[in-house]
């Protein structure tokens, strides 16, 4: 039985046969995990970068999560704008070209039937919206300024409406 113990010892040799294999195995056992860690760090940190062309994703996110309602405080003491100013800022885009059925500026034939309806009806249509025109109330201009723009357009189309006056509280200031 003692003769078999020597053969038994040689059967348990490892896969590394030479010192060069041992050196390569040691080198690989340290370098490969380093590359794996570097790759994982790169993968994790690249997820935080924004993709090209996605710079407005923050804006779209802010729009999606905005509050349902908001209050905007405007300067009530600012001077009222004239009808021509409001027309150039708000109305010219459609009424200059007659887009979407809007009566063209200074076109007496297009404005004639509308003028016959009266100033109140024209102003109401502008404030509430009519056809393709959206409601103008609550926008950048107050109701009197919108009415002044309506008077400006209608008068250039043949009407003789008087421009709405500022409220008494604003006239005194």
- With bands split at pLDDT 50, 70 and 90, how would you rate the model's confidence at 10? low
Instruction: Provide the CATH number for the domain formed by 83-172 in this structure.
Output: 1.10.760.10
Report pLDDT for 12. 65
Q: What average pLDDT does the segment 14-41 reach? A: 90
Q: Is 153 exposed, middle or buried (0-12, 13-18, 19+ CB in 10 A)?
A: buried
Average pLDDT, the chain: 78
| CB 117, CB 67: distance < 8 Å | no
Report pLDDT for 31. 93
pLDDT in tens, 116-134: 888 888 888 888 888 778 7
The domain spans of the chain are: 4-46, 83-172
Query: pTM for the full model?
Result: 0.53
Q: What average pLDDT does the segment 139-167 reach? A: 81
pLDDT in tens, 37-66: 999 998 888 776 665 555 567 777 787 787
Report pLDDT for 171. 47
Contacts of 91 (CB under 8 A, 6+ apart): 149, 153
pLDDT in tens, 73-116: 666 677 888 878 888 888 888 888 777 778 888 877 888 888 88
């Amino acid at each position: 039985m003692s003769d078999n113990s020597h053969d038994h010892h040689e059967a348990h040799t490892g896969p590394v046969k030479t010192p060069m294999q041992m050196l390569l195995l040691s080198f690989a056992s340290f370098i490969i995990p380093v590359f794996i860690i570097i790759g994982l760090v790169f993968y994790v940190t690249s997820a935080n970068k924004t993709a090209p062309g996605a710079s407005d994703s923050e804006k779209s996110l802010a729009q999606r999560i905005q509050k349902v309602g908001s209050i905007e405080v405007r300067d009530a003491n600012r001077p009222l704008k004239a009808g021509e100013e409001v027309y150039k800022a708000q109305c010219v885009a459609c009424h200059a070209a007659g887009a979407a059925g809007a009566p063209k500026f200074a076109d007496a034939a297009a404005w004639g039937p509308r003028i016959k309806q009266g100033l109140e009806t024209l102003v109401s249509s502008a404030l509430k919206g009519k056809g393709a025109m959206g409601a103008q109330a609550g926008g950048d201009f107050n109701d009197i300024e919108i009415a002044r723009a309506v008077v400006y357009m209608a008068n250039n189309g043949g009407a003789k409406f008087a421009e709405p006056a500022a409220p008494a509280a604003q006239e005194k200031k």
